[in-house]
A and B are shown apart, each in its own frame.
Chain A
Amino acid sequence: MTVGVEYYVLLSMALFSIGLFGVLTRRNALMFLMSVELMLNAANINLIAFAFYHGNLTGQVFALFAMALAAAEVAVGLGIILVLYRNFRDVDVTVPTTMRW
């Protein structure tokens, strides 16, 4: 019995959609970061499932790189959120509105 690759794609698409929903609805910057992580990991699931499916390792190795980059992105993001809190006393992304068109 094998699990077809389409189920992995469905799983990752569900995860991606959950992440996208979180990005669009959450106002807390930290929840936003977590939602983006969900989206990135959805892509990682895809890469690894397709690597199995195609029988080459490119996708798996790229998933490792993607994880490392996601961690770096989180680090930069948390740093920005820290200075945001220091300036606005809040991590709500709708609070900073000093610039509007």
Chain B
Amino acid sequence: MARLRPKNEQSTLICVGYESPNVTEMNDWIAIGMLALVGLSIPLGMMVVSYLIRPSVPETSKRATYESGEIPTGGTRIRFNIQYYMVALLFVVFDIETVLLFPWAVVYQDALASPEYGLLEALGPMLLFVAILMIGLAWAWRTGAVQWAQTRTQAASDTDRQ
């Protein structure tokens, strides 16, 4: 492992903020530490003060999850509608595919500026890529993957209307 030393200077990884320490820079760290200390002590102090001066009236309804109004029913571990997963699946695919636009965007201006590539060579492949994605999206749309699930009565009223 010790053999794995960087080959050249440009490619080395710089650990940001680590420079030779001196007294003035240490002051910056003291300031940050003080900020953290104050930031923690204010809410803690308020909680302690309110604990000391508030009257204590134990009551069962105060222990409920939502104190005012609604009586909570059931747990939070419910099953989500399957439609959430369908939308999530589509999102995962189409969202991540756009990451491939970034390297293209980085070289786009340079490619246009260079005499080797025209607008067609620079823009065309990405248009093709997006067009293929559009076919996928259109397919998902048409086959009902993005359609929100309907209850039976809704579906029945839809067919009545058609």
Contacts and interface: CB of A to CB of B under 8 A. Distances in A.
B6 A75 contact: no
B15 A64 contact: no
B92 A71 contact: yes
Interface residues of B, number: 27
A49 B4 CA distance: 12
A72 B11 CA distance: 32
Interface residues of A, number: 26
B99 A64 contact: yes
Contacts of A1: 14-15, 18
Interface string B5-19: 111101111110010
B103 interface: yes
A53 interface: yes
A55 B92 contact: no
- Chain A interface mostly: helix
Interface string A23-67: 000000000000000000000000001001111000001001101
B71 interface: no
B102 A64 contact: yes
Interface of A: 1-6, 9-10, 49, 52-55, 61, 64-65, 67-68, 70-72, 74-75, 78-79, 82
